[in-house]
């Protein structure tokens, strides 16, 4: 039996009831897609994920990768290669490809709904297939010659990596030492070492294009001095794609990791054995901005991966709780002869399951809401809307990405270990069930593409301060308008309004510290001590809003529903109320913590720790 069960019913509800994606289908750039076609795609992916992709999930973890240090080549388990081939042969990678290269024109909301199921069933499949998404960057930002490279990436299903991290430059990307020297023929020779490179090699494709940040000879320090180069594993003919000689980029080690073992995380060397020949992307020196096109996609992917793993963990825990008999009913606790009951009848198990359900479904809505903003950006551009309208939407998407990635990964990892696995008791700690692998595989999501602390700093300083709070104000007004609707869950909406006010007070306090730091630099520490708290609080407010919106929709439909639909809507109403009652009050406590922050711990001596 597959470890994975997709929650397509909830995906459909989010897409078409909550977010009304049917309103954009059949129009403009999505004129060839209607709801029935979109659901047909999702149903086909569900079958693929629950069968072909999920089939190698466990063996991929147990066997991991095989590294040949002499050749620098990585081999993957045959079962995983079979799963990957099923994904590629089904042409699902083309949902990330420009239409001009043979891609499929679908809205990002449908694209990320598909990705959720792939990432939940076997995340390494999606990660190894990054070449399709990266081809988009090479095509949009590349020269005419590089656009041909992008086409080969699609037609020949080449892999791709993003190379930022170096042994002495982790999160501090601007400290990178990799060097690029221009050659007479216009190419560049790159030298240096990179670390923690995902999918650095694998025997599932004939070539890999590495997107590498390096500093051109004579360029300035920091991130502004970095440029982005395309470095193939094998040289090739730009016209035909035919492979040539080996290029000078080699894997020197594969990390032994806590989880996600079938995904090769590599140390890479550039230019030691022979020149590592690269091509300057777009023939412009704008590396960090170009790489951020990939980073933004990667952050959305990581958050979606984490959230989909939590959903898978919840499905497993729910099934177990409905079948595992243990102990008597609590109300009969004095009756030693009372019959044993399934553990879903125990109060604390119900608390745990509803917590998992509310977060999993709320964060799914967060991912798809963010994707719906991406829909709006693309449609606005296609329809020739003003640059101001497009900018507002882009800034809202930028605001939401660190929440999807930082909040989503942190909550998913915590809940998988403290709730989903815990539901199984001691059995959860064994390999008889997939939960221990989910927990190990999910931890990386809080570290990938910027740790949670980095997401919090980015959220406050770049997405709020630098934006003058415009995107946050737009979102707050939308939440405030919903609070004012009253009707169903009127009391819960009042609670949401109070939490929104507490959140605004938290932000105001942090802005006060930031402004004060211009006179007293140490005041900035008070921001740094609380930006992660801010990120978590914003996430809880948005989740509450999305869950209550779902609760309103469910309340309007439940009267005419029957059977599984009625159960589904009852669950929606229950989870929205549960989340607001149990998690929203914590924001008031966070406000109290932030407002009394004195930065005292920054003065504690290191030896006292």
Please tell me the distance from the alpha carbon of residue 565 to that of residue 128, in angstroms, as a whole number.
37
| Helix runs in 53-122, H state only | 57-63, 78-89, 108-121
- CA 68 to chain CA centroid, Å, is 31
Please tell me the distance from the alpha carbon of residue 287 to that of residue 284, in angstroms, as a whole number.
8
Chain position carrying tokens 């243990």: 326
3-state secondary structure (DSSP) of residue 143:
coil
Cβ neighbour number for residue 234 with a 10 Å cutoff: 16
Please tell me the distance from the alpha carbon of residue 214 to that of residue 181, in angstroms, as a whole number.
10
CA angle 306, 35, 361 (to 5 degrees): 25
* Maximum CA extent, the chain: 88
Angle of helix 490-516 relative to helix 586-595, nearest 10 degrees? Answer: 20
Tokens of 86: 């099923």
Report the 3 state secondary structure along 168-192: CECCCHHHCCCEEEECCCCCEEEEE
User: Exactly one of 50, 166, 419, 449 is catalytic; which is it?
Assistant: 449
Half-sphere exposure of residue 474: CA atoms within 13 angstroms, side-chain side:
18
- Residue 92 — φ and ψ, nearest 5°? -75, -25
Our answer to whether residue 436 is catalytic in this structure is: no
Angle of helix 531-557 relative to helix 470-483, nearest 10 degrees? Answer: 40
Which of 453, 471, 431 shows the shortest CA–CA distance to 529? Answer: 453
Please tell me the distance from the alpha carbon of residue 85 to that of residue 543, in angstroms, as a whole number.
36
Its sign, for the CA torsion 353, 354, 355, 360, is positive
Secondary structure element (H or E) that encloses residue 456, with its range: helix 452-457
Residues labelled as active-site residues: 449
């Amino acid at each position: 039996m597959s470890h994975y069960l997709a929650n397509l019913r909830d995906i459909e509800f989010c897409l078409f009831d909550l977010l009304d994606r049917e309103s954009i289908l059949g129009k403009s750039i999505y004129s060839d897609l209607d709801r029935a076609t979109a659901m047909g795609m999702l149903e086909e992916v569900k079958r693929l994920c629950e069968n072909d992709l999920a089939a190698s999930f466990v063996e991929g973890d147990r066997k991991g990768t095989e590294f040949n240090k002499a050749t620098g080549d990585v081999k993957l388990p045959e079962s995983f290669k079979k799963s990957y081939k099923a994904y590629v042969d089904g042409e699902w990678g083309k949902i990330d490809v420009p239409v001009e290269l043979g891609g499929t024109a679908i809205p990002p909301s449908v694209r990320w709904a598909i990705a959720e199921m792939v990432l939940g069933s076997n995340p390494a499949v999606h990660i190894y297939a990054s070449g399709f998404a990266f081809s988009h960057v090479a095509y949009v930002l590349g020269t005419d010659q590089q656009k041909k490279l992008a086409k080969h990436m699609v037609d020949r299903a080449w892999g791709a990596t993003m190379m930022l991290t170096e042994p002495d430059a982790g999160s501090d990307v601007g400290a990178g030492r990799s060097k690029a020297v221009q050659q007479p023929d216009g190419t560049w020779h790159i030298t240096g070492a990179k670390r923690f490179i995902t999918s650095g090699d694998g025997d599932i494709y004939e070539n890999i294009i590495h997107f590498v940040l390096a500093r051109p000879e004579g360029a300035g320090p920091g991130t502004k001095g970095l440029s982005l180069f395309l470095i193939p594993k094998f040289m090739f003919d730009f016209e035909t794609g035919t492979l040539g000689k080996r290029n000078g980029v080699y894997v020197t080690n594969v990390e032994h990791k806590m989880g996600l073992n079938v995904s090769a995380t590599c140390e890479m060397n550039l230019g030691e054995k022979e020149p590592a020949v690269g091509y300057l992307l777009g023939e412009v020196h704008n590396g960090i901005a170009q790489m951020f096109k990939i980073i933004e996609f990667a952050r959305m992917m990581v958050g979606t991966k984490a959230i989909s793993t939590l959903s898978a963990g919840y499905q497993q825990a729910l099934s177990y709780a409905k079948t595992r008999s243990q102990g008597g009913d609590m109300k009969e606790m004095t009756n030693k002869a009372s019959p044993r009951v399934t553990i879903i009848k125990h109060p604390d198990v119900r608390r745990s399951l509803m917590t998992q359900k509310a977060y999993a479904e709320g964060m799914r809505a967060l991912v798809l809401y963010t994707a719906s903003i991406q829909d709006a950006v693309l449609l606005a551009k296609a329809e020739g809307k003003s640059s101001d309208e497009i900018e507002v939407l882009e800034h809202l998407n930028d605001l939401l990405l660190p929440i999807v990635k930082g909040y989503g990964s942190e909550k998913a990892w915590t809940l998988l270990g403290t709730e989903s696995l815990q539901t199984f008791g001691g059995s959860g700690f064994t390999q008889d069930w997939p939960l221990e692998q989910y927990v190990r595989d999910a931890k990386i999501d809080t570290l990938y593409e910027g740790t949670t602390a980095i997401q919090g700093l980015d959220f406050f300083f770049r997405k709020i301060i630098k934006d003058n709070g415009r995107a946050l104000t737009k979102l707050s007004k939308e939440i405030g308008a919903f609070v004012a609707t009253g009707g169903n869950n009127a009391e819960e909406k009042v609670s949401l309004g109070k939490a929104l006010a507490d959140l605004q007070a938290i932000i105001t306090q942090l802005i006060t510290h930031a402004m004060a730091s211009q006179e007293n630099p140490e005041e900035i520490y008070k921001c740094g001590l609380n930006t992660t708290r801010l990120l978590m609080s914003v996430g809880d407010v948005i989740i509450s809003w999305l869950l209550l919106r779902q609760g309103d929709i469910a309340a309007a439909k439940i009267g005419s529903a029957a059977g599984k639909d009625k159960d589904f809507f009852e669950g929606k109403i229950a989870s929205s109320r549960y989340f607001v009652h149990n998690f929203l009050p914590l924001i008031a406590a966070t406000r109290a913590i932030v407002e009394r922050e004195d930065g005292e711990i920054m003065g504690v001596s290191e030896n006292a720790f």
